[in-house]
Amino acid sequence: MRFAFADCEDGSPWLESVRTGLSRAFAAHGHTLVPRPDDDCGIVFHAVREDRPRPYPRKSRATFVVGLVEIPGADPDPLLRGYPLLVRSISNMLLLAGGASARNPLRGAHLITPELGCYPAAAGDEGAFEDLYGRLTPLATSHLVIDNVFDPDLPPELWEGTEATDELIWASRRLADMHLLPTPFPVRDVLGPEDIRYLQRLYGIGGLSYGNLSVRHDASRFWMSASGVDKGKLGRVGDDILLVKGYDAARGAMRLSVRPDLEPHRVSVDAIEHQLIYTEHPEVGAILHVHAWVDGIRTTDINYPCGTMEMGRAVADAIRAEPDPLEAVIGLRNHGITAVGRNLHEIFARLGEQVQATVPMR
């Protein structure tokens, strides 16, 4: 993998120490540092100014961008401080350092993800950059499956919904009542029109929301919440509830059956994860994903980004390893849980009061 640094030439002593440490760690594993970022770089480390955060202008979403931010002094809530910077810089991940030094540049530094993850960048000072390399590389080399193919062939008899879509609407209200759905991040409040257009060109999205749910329609299709909508207020079939037909491997995209009279939202980025689960486990009738936690559950080893094939496979593998895959609740490291069951009513009854709103970070 080729890697590069952007806007780091005139940085602080901290930034120079980070650049040196990352260069050594990545080169030690056979990766090639190039003097200037290009479209073939797998990962770009981009210096972000807190007073004027701007995106690195990548042309391909395959380039994984890590924003590098130094703030004066340690911050008691790095997620609150760093998340707007992550969004404004349109980074895949943010390295936020407060109170660090050139000698110990990762001491107290945190990694922040679009899924609201916020955890230490390294376990300690010894081998810190090797530890950071191990955290970043699996994420940078993962494969997004977020494209949608819209087929305007949703049968009219489904336009008013089914028992399955009624179940989704009920579950969305239940999640809201349980306060398990963070408010969608107001992207348009922090990004200008030009950056919004860039975000839509790059990822096809114009908003960020957290959590999703789905219900099986038949052997090969399932209904799922749309991306960027309030998951606590699902209602309109063909708009914020979409019918997924399957995974189009030739296009690397999710294929949807949509109404010809509506401009559809995109389906939730986790659709590939749900697709893999439904395909492998025909008895599973519903899936719930929230940024919450249940103690004592099986957990994925790596916090792959939402919408990646690797995340979907990691969850599917963990479900397969459960004594009863039909009642699995899997922890997504530094992220949340995915629970499966015969239907959403059964999943909520089984989770009961076990669900905790705070996800442990490590």
Q: Where are the domains of the chain?
A: 2-140, 147-351
Nearest to 115 by CA among 307, 314, 340, 321: 307
Q: How far apart, in whole angstroms, are the C-alpha atoms of residue 336 and residue 135?
A: 18
Q: What is the pTM of this model?
A: 0.93
Class of domain 2-140: alpha beta
Q: Is 147-351 in the same CATH topology as 2-140? A: no
pLDDT tens digits, the chain, 362 residues: what are they? 999 999 988 778 999 999 999 999 999 999 999 999 988 899 999 999 999 999 999 988 889 999 999 998 888 899 999 999 999 999 999 999 988 888 899 999 999 999 999 999 988 778 999 999 999 999 999 999 999 999 999 999 999 999 999 999 999 999 999 988 877 788 888 888 888 888 888 887 767 788 999 999 999 999 999 998 889 999 999 999 999 999 999 999 999 999 999 998 899 999 999 999 999 999 999 999 999 999 999 999 999 999 999 999 999 999 999 999 999 999 999 999 999 999 999 999 999 889 998 999 98
The pLDDT score that the predictor gives to residue 238 is: 92
Give a three-class secondary structure readout of the chain.
CEEEEECCCCCCHHHHHHHHHHHHHHHHCCCEECCCCCCCCCEEEEECCCCCCCCCCCCCCCCEEEEEEEECCCCCCHHHHHHHHHHHCCCCEEEEEECCCCCCCCCCCEEECCCCCEEECCCCCCCHHHHHHHHHHHHHCCCECCEEEEECCCCHHHCCCCHHHHHHHHHHHHHHHCCCCCCCECHHHHCCHHHHHHHHHHHCCCCECCCEEEEECCCCCEEEEECCCCHHHCCCECCCEEEEEEEECCCCEEEEECCCCCCCCCECCCHHHHHHHHHHCCCCCEEEEECCECCCCCECCCCCCCCEHHHHHHHHHHHHCCCCHHHCEEEECCCEEEEEECCHHHHHHHHCCCCECCCCCC
Sheet holding 93-98, edge to edge: 32-33, 2-6, 43-47, 64-71, 93-98, 110-112, 118-120
327: number of Cβ within 10 Å: 16
* Fold category of 147-351 in CATH: L-fuculose-1-phosphate Aldolase (3.40.225)
The pLDDT score that the predictor gives to residue 167 is: 98
204, burial (CB in 10 Å: exposed 0-12, middle 13-18, buried 19+): middle
